[in-house]
Structure 1
Amino acid sequence: MVTVFVQRTKELHELKSYNDAGFLFAPFGSMEKKVIFPFDKCDSFSASIGATDLLEINETEKDKSRFINMEELSDLKEKHISLVQKGVDFIKAKQAKKIVLSRKETLEYANLNVLETFKKMLKIYKNAFVYLWFHPEIGLWMGATPEKLLTSFEGDFKTMALAGTQKHTGTTNVNWQIKEKQEQQYVTEFILENLKETVEKLKITEPFTVQAGNLVHIRTDISGKLKSGNSLEKLINILHPTPAICGLPKNVAATFILENEGYDRLYYSGYLGELNRNESTSLFVNLRCMQLDGKLVSIYVGGGITAESIPKNEWEETVSKADVMKKVLP
């Protein structure tokens, strides 16, 4: 099912309260605007794509785009390995337990068909939340994220602890390494510890493996009920940014990221989705995403760093994640 919200004007609406109702697009940090397309100012419709030709890809050899990397991969590799090593040293000095470090890879396309790219993304990533978002003052973003920040309905909520990455080899029977298990356990423990004063009747599953495109991750599902007097806004502020996109301790990791990554994440690793639609909220972490600006396509990828991280392996993980997005480009 594809749902479309088309705002009737070009006005930029900023989120004023988490009691607002609309499609929310929020950044990683606090510098950018939380943008909302209010439902009462949008036209909307939905279409089932399961048994139709909506996803037929109109792609011929002469129409295929050609891209140029704006920066040599060898330079990107050197920068990221250096960044990861700095993160590992910081963690080993007992300054943090985990830091999620990312990078941006920008490509120049001569002839990119946005709609065909989106259709291809829908066709390939059936287990992800796939989106295409545009506002003239912010720009155009699209992505296929496997990670739900939360769903909430009448006080009941669900979230997940998603971390650890390997290439999908045709099976979800994966031999996870200690580093990957530890990384995911940090996320789970953070969520449980920080939710205990806000929610009750917490339920947690055993960790299990899930596929997202050509990758697999470790996931734990968590659910519960908001205690009386606790708001959706408080729950979101507790969860975002999670250790899966920031690190632990949260403030220490966020400061390291801002001081060392060397670029602005903008809306990458923020969150997006339907806020208070028919009394239900469903928000997703903005991973596996790209920003389109004219002929430029910027792909954002990252990975969790712990004391056991090997910088070269962390670089390879970002390459695999970038390939997830490049796969949908012509």
Structure 2
Amino acid sequence: MNYTEASTPTSQSEFLDLLFLKGLESGSSFAIWRKPKSQKLEFLLDDSETPERVSLNFENLPSGFIVHPFADQEDKKAFFIKSSYYFSLQLDQEFDAEDSPQWIKSQAGETEKSAKSRIAQLIRLQSESKNASEIESQSKEHFIRLVQDGIAAIEAGTLEKVVPARTKRISVSEDFDLAKAFLKMLEAYPNSFVNFFHIPHGGTWIGASPEVLIETKGDHFYTMALAGTQPASGENPLKSAAWTQKEIEEQALVCRYIVDCFKKIRLREYEEHGPKTVMAGNLLHLRSDFKVDMKATGFPQLGSVMLDLLHPTSAVCGMPRKEAHEFLQANEDFDRSFFAGFIGPVNIQEETSIYVNLRTASLNGDFATLYAGAGVTEDSDPEKEWEETELKCQIIGKFIQKPSA
């Protein structure tokens, strides 16, 4: 069919093509996402040439989408994609393109096939982010050695836990259909924050994160401790999961880290639920949930205070945080960029939902770089930690990977 103002797209896939095309052709920053257990797809575009850099006091920000790298910047500021244009649609309801705003309808003007071709071309033209040209940490030997060094540091008493990461570079399929891949991810990962964001000269990323860093809704604050990983298997993997002492202790360390942050700000009134087994894609994790009534505790800015205290969490860095971060900076040999940083919508319809940027990939021309880490304790098996990162890379990689001949 033709995309014309008189004949607007009639399917979610066609409409998603227009959103991606609108964002990529604008030359500006934009984001598309769906929250866990939600049926609402959201799109946000910043019409300025470069995104604003903001402090983490998000309560005072307008509506937008925040993006922060793993490593703190000198000024501790994040990228902020402000909401110049915003649109949402319900994925579980009958789609009516006539309800879309005029700025989306005006984007229409070419065939579905040419729109997809143009999106693929724009994706291939994306230059690598500023740190992606560094040597990528891909080899199994390098990662195994990194895990062994981490275990040695733990045995020496320097660290309690460390979370080394690696990259995996894959070819992007020549017929890669971004809208189709995104819709498949929405279907495959209902319990994850499925997202795509683009920042000029900063990167083009796609992912499905299972981990909330902080969330505020009305008077309530939420966070979670997510750690421990095993493949989901069997007819009922949630009931048949058996956790080792290593995995239980790894998750307990993350819980203690959150509680220690509460203690730092003398917050004693909070709810803790868990740990329980949860599924994210083809993996199982242990999760505990924390909830605070900000009004009852007289702490209206708890969200931004905890955001500053929690990042980077022990689940993506290690403990003690300072020593673990220094170990990673000295030994990983690549820049994580936005991997294990945080992303998410801010002050949209009186809610802020910020997630750890996990299960993610950066799109760099004809290639994509996948990122994955593994929690290392004194009981870790380096070979099993490598296998864990391979499973994590598959979560996004299988939607991008060029099929082998």
The TM-score with structure 2 as length reference comes to 0.73
Q: Which moved more, 1:297-306 or 1:217-226?
A: 217-226
Residues 201/79 of structure 1: CA separation in 2 closer, same or farther (3 Å cut): same
Name the structure 1 match of 2:281: 213
Name the structure 2 match of 1:68: none
Name the structure 2 match of 1:182: 249
2:44 is the counterpart of 1:29: no
Name the structure 1 match of 2:126: none
Contact 1:198–1:235 (CA under 8 A) maintained in structure 2: no
For 2:354 and 2:299, locate their aligned partners in 1 and report how far apart those are by CA, in whole Å.
Answer: 21
For 1:275 and 1:300, locate their aligned partners in 2 and report how far apart those are by CA, in whole Å.
Answer: 25
For 2:306 and 2:267, locate their aligned partners in 1 and report how far apart those are by CA, in whole Å.
Answer: 9
1:169 aligns to what SS in structure 2? coil
2:259 is the counterpart of 1:192: yes
For 2:218 and 2:158, locate their aligned partners in 1 and report how far apart those are by CA, in whole Å.
Answer: 40
User: Once the 2 structures are TM-superposed, how far is the Cα of residue 230 of structure 1 from its aligned partner?
Assistant: 6.6
Name stretches of at least 5 consecutive residues in structure 1 with no aligned partner.
64-74
Name stretches of at least 5 consecutive residues in structure 2 with no aligned partner.
1-39, 97-112, 121-137
Name the structure 1 match of 2:385: 314
Contact 2:172–2:400 (CA under 8 A) maintained in structure 1: no
> What do residues 10-59 of structure 1 show as CA deviations (whole Å, max 9, x unaligned)?
222111442212210111112386111123xx2111111125689xxx99
Name the structure 1 match of 2:363: 292
Pairing of 1:131-210 with structure 2 (within 5 A): 131-170=195-234, 171-173=237-239, 174-196=241-263, 197-210=265-278
For 1:120 and 1:113, locate their aligned partners in 2 and report how far apart those are by CA, in whole Å.
Answer: 11
For 2:218 and 2:208, locate their aligned partners in 1 and report how far apart those are by CA, in whole Å.
Answer: 27
Name the structure 2 match of 1:86: 149
Q: What CA RMSD, in Å, does the superposition of the two structures yield over aligned residues?
A: 2.4
Name the structure 1 match of 2:82: 38
Aligned length: 314
Paired residue type of 2:213: L
The TM-score with structure 1 as length reference comes to 0.89
> What do residues 193-251 of structure 1 show as CA deviations (whole Å, max 9, x unaligned)?
22133534211112100000000000001111344357332211111111111110010
Report the structure number with the largest CA radius of gyration.
Answer: 2
Contact 2:173–2:400 (CA under 8 A) maintained in structure 1: no
Contact 2:147–2:376 (CA under 8 A) maintained in structure 1: yes
Residues 225/238 of structure 1: CA separation in 2 closer, same or farther (3 Å cut): farther
> What do residues 259-278 of structure 1 show as CA deviations (whole Å, max 9, x unaligned)?
10110001000111122234
Name the structure 2 match of 1:7: 46
Contact 1:162–1:244 (CA under 8 A) maintained in structure 2: yes
User: Once the 2 structures are TM-superposed, how far is the Cα of residue 82 of structure 1 from its aligned partner?
Assistant: 0.7
Q: Which moved more, 1:80-89 or 1:23-32?
A: 23-32
For 2:271 and 2:299, locate their aligned partners in 1 and report how far apart those are by CA, in whole Å.
Answer: 20
Paired residue type of 2:80: I
More strand by share: 1
For 2:43 and 2:222, locate their aligned partners in 1 and report how far apart those are by CA, in whole Å.
Answer: 24
For 2:194 and 2:286, locate their aligned partners in 1 and report how far apart those are by CA, in whole Å.
Answer: 20
Contact 1:200–1:225 (CA under 8 A) maintained in structure 2: no
Name the structure 1 match of 2:184: 120
Paired residue type of 2:258: I
